[in-house]
């Protein structure tokens, strides 16, 4: 399951799972990406989709030289559990 789409004009990463929209929304201010929230409907839960959305967002931030501010509590926890992304924190 790697079909995560970056809708840059909407500041969103998205994955469709069994017809359910899973999303990570962010706001870009200069070179700082504030990850606002990660939403995975209960019907699509338990598959690691939230982690994949966050990985895609953080990898995008790294490739573009952006700093990251994890407003989303899931993202903050994800970064704590994956210290390889800690250097992105603003």
Q: Which domains does the chain have, with CATH numbers?
A: 5-88 (3.40.630.30)
Cα 8 to Cα 4, 12, 33, 59, 84, distances in angstroms: 12, 6, 12, 14, 24
Say what the pLDDT of residue 2 is.
63
Given a contact cutoff of 8 angstroms between Cβ atoms, the answer to whether 68 and 88 are in contact is: yes
pTM: 0.95
Angle at the Cα of 20 (from 76 to 3), degrees rounded to 5?
70
Low-confidence ranges of the chain (pLDDT < 70): 1-2
Report the alpha-carbon distance of residue 67 to residue 73 in Å, rounded. 17
Say what the pLDDT of residue 86 is.
97
Say what the pLDDT of residue 90 is.
85
């Amino acid at each position: 399951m790697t079909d995560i789409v970056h809708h840059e004009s909407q500041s969103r990463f998205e994955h469709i799972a069994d017809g359910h929209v899973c999303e990570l929304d962010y706001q870009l201010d200069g070179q700082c990406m504030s990850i606002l929230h990660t939403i995975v409907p209960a019907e699509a839960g338990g598959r690691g989709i939230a982690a994949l959305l966050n990985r895609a967002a953080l990898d995008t931030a790294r490739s573009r030289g952006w700093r990251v501010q994890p407003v989303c509590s899931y993202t903050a926890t994800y970064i704590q559990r994956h210290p390889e992304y800690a250097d992105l924190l603003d």
